[in-house]
Chain A
Amino acid sequence: MADRVVLTIGTRKGVFVADAAKPRRSFALRGPFGSGVPVYSTLIDTRGTPRLYASSCNPFFGMKVLRSKDMGKSFQETRSAPAFPKGDGRALANIWSLEAGGGKKELWCGVEPASLFRSRDGGDSWEMVPGISNHEHARKWQPGAGGLCMHTIIRDGHRVHLGISTGGHYLSEDGGETFRASNQGVGAGFAPDPYPEFGQCVHKIARHNDAPGRLYMQNHGGWADWTGPGGPRPDIGVLRSDDYGRTWRSIAKGLPSDFGFPILVHPHDADTVYVVPLDPATRSCPGGAPAVWRSENSGDSWSRLARGLPKKETYFTILRDAMDIDRLAAPALYFGTTTGQLWMGREGGEQWECLFDALPPIHNVKVAVV
């Protein structure tokens, strides 16, 4: 019976694990694990005996994948990390996403430069997925400020959605054998053509299992004042698709900014979605007052959730994978900041409290009840 709330916290100086009993009154922190090097992705794999995974992005010795079989009391390197085939010409620069695949041991991994890898043995060996990694567009994608990263992997039977910055949204309907760019309605502010076939700077994509055709996207917004070729592009930052990602439309109206990084769906309500609007210049919340914004009608209107968060003089960023939500009956949201704070928002974000105040800068937060 699941009885612990477990958090993995990927930071600039390794991965931490925190856990608490279901009331979430007090979290115990362990770590850092992983040699103090940056961790951009973690996975709490709840298939069978739970496993924790973390990418370890060692600037000296290259990429490693860490695995814990004891719920984060210790981590060991898997036997190998993803690596491009000899002669490919590309070299792994970062690991941005780890997701559970089919069966009990399959893992999927999105990397920089944007490519997809799959492991069939729990991370001990990896093979590149050529359908996207060698896609005819792959050598034309450009890195964003964070690098050319594949950060989102969403599996839905034979459908696979990928988010690439900057590449856009790619969709497979044959289990990952082939992919096509699927960005109709997804805008780009940094190219003369406001709606290119591909090359958008998608920041994150989210979806609810009960509504697989509906997807939410946080795209790179903040282009309302653009005066160059193609004209202004207001509200291209927060989008929704109701047809499995084939077409997208803006749901940004009512938000203080359409720029941001994470986007989440409520675990029990596919119509409830969360974003963190940021000022596009400072990448901090408008007015120095952090807030999560929630829509309970699939993005038609939005409300601000900030009770318990600082009211002023706060300029952290919440990165694309630094927010998650647990699956308890009254779920709590969690976000980590670039200033090393980990916040929890009880009752779906209604009331916030700071769990840890002085961790290293946080890249990634995942939660599961195990």
Chain B
Amino acid sequence: MGPAPTITLHVPGALRTYCAGAAELSISARTVRAALEDLERSQIALYRSICDETGALRRHLNVFVNSDNVRDLDGIDTTLTTGDVVTILPAVSGG
């Protein structure tokens, strides 16, 4: 097995305070789950804002691989390939 693909994680504005203001992070990971595990090791405050203590994605967040919601793919086990852009977005809300 070769090296894990390098992907770009797009960080929403509200969470950039947890990664020194970075809008994007470059991560080597074969799946979304592996990308999140990388964040847990390297950016714990950012990770905690995306996943709860059980490791589950927070309920009102959506994660996209390129333009597809992982909910419509294989969830956080969705595989990644070099150059993919993973985007984390809060769900739409009102009130």
Contacts and interface: CB of A to CB of B under 8 A. Distances in A.
Nearest to A85: B53
B15 to A, nearest CB: 7
Interface in B27-64: 45, 48-50, 52-54, 56, 58-61
A94 to B, nearest CB: 12
A89 interface: yes
Interface residues of B, number: 18
A251 B61 CA distance: 47
Contacts of A59: 59-60, 93
A84 B53 CA distance: 6
A370 interface: no
B60 A91 contact: no
Interface of B: 14-15, 17, 45, 48-50, 52-54, 56, 58-61, 90-91, 93
A139 interface: no
B69 to A, nearest CB: 16
Interface string A85-115: 1101111100000000000000000000000
Interface of A: 35, 59-62, 77, 80-81, 83-86, 88-92
B45 A91 contact: no
A62 B14 contact: no
Given A35-B14, A88-B53, A90-B53, A62 B90 contact: no
B15 A61 contact: yes
Contacts of B56: 91
B52 A92 contact: yes
Nearest to B48: A62
A92 B90 CA distance: 18
Given A59-B60, A59-B93, A62-B58, A91 B53 contact: yes
A9 B9 CA distance: 37
23 contacts: A35-B14, A59-B59, A59-B93, A60-B14, A60-B61, A60-B91, A60-B93, A61-B58, A61-B61, A61-B90, A62-B48, A62-B49, A80-B45, A80-B48, A81-B48, A83-B48, A86-B53, A88-B53, A89-B54, A90-B54, A91-B54, A91-B56, A92-B52
A88 to B, nearest CB: 7
